[in-house]
Amino acid sequence: MRFLLVTQTFFRMDVKAGVTFNSSKRKLAQSVFFDVQNVTNNKNVFAQRYNPLTNTVNTAYQIGLFPNFVYKIQF
């Protein structure tokens, strides 16, 4: 018997905002970013595994709303 399961459509919207400061004297650039991944907090399927012992499908989901702060220095 074959295993076939159709999942929901994947949807994720990310938002990123930031600013970069350049210094010509020091030949240095500094960047600050704030990033929010999966703004809609949609429950997307990451993986599905069939368990032959229980005859069920186990589903793992991706992380929901995830804020991220980045500070980057380039020289």
Q: pTM to 2 decimals? A: 0.65
Query: Residue 18 is encoded by which pair of tokens?
Result: 């930031």
Predicted local confidence at residue 14, as pLDDT: 95
The tens place of each residue's pLDDT in the chain, 75 residues long, gives 565 667 778 899 999 999 999 988 888 999 999 999 999 999 999 999 989 999 998 999 999 999 999 999 998
Distance CA 49, CA 55 (A): 11
Distance CA 24, CA 19 (A): 16
Q: How far is CA 46 from the centre of its chain?
A: 11
Predicted local confidence at residue 27, as pLDDT: 87
CA dihedral 23, 24, 29, 34 (to 10 degrees): 50
Q: pLDDT tens-digit profile of 35-53?
A: 999 999 999 999 999 899 9
